[in-house]
Amino acid sequence: MRDILVAGNWKMNGNSAANAELVAGIIAGVPQGSGFSLLVCPPYPYLAAVVAQTEGSAVSVGSQNVSEHEKGAFTGEVAPGMLRDLGCTYAIVGHSERRAIYGETSAQVAAKFQAAQAAGITPILCVGETLEEREAGTTESVVDEQLDAVLDVAGIDALATAVIAYEPVWAIGTGMTASPEQAQDVHRHIRGRLEALNANIAAGVQILYGGSMKGENAAGLLAKPDIDGGLIGGASLKAEDFLAIAAAAAQN
Q: Which residues are catalytic?
A: 95, 167
Are 223 and 179 in contact, with CB atoms under 8 Å apart? no
Judged by CB under 6 A, does residue 63 bind ligand PEP? no
The binder of ligand PEP chosen from 37, 60, 212, 252 (CB under 6 A): 212
Judged by CB under 6 A, does residue 246 bind ligand PEP? no
Per-residue b or e along 203-238, where b marks 16 or more CB atoms closer than 10 Å to that residue's CB = eebbbbbbbbbbbebbbebbebebbbbbbbbbbbbe
Judged by CB under 6 A, does residue 211 bind ligand PEP? yes
The binder of ligand PEP chosen from 80, 123, 128, 234 (CB under 6 A): 234
Q: How far is the CB of 30 from ligand PEP (least distance, A)?
A: 20
The binder of ligand PEP chosen from 6, 9, 149, 226 (CB under 6 A): 9
The binder of ligand PEP chosen from 62, 180, 210, 229 (CB under 6 A): 210
- The interface region with ligand PEP, picked from 23-31, 73-81, 189-197, 209-217 by CB under 6 A, is 209-217
Per-residue b or e along 18-54, where b marks 16 or more CB atoms closer than 10 Å to that residue's CB = ebeebbeebbeebbeeeebbbbbbbbbebbeebbebb
Judged by CB under 6 A, does residue 93 bind ligand PEP? no
- Which residue's Cβ lies closest to ligand PEP? 233
The binder of ligand PEP chosen from 213, 221, 222, 246 (CB under 6 A): 213
Q: How far is the CB of 23 from ligand PEP (least distance, A)?
A: 18
The binder of ligand PEP chosen from 66, 124, 222, 232 (CB under 6 A): 232
Residue number, 202 or 243, with CB nearest to ligand PEP: 243
Q: How far is the CB of 165 from ligand PEP (least distance, A)?
A: 7
Judged by CB under 6 A, does residue 172 bind ligand PEP? yes
- Residues contributing to the site for ligand PEP (CB under 6 A): 9, 167, 172-173, 210-213, 231-235
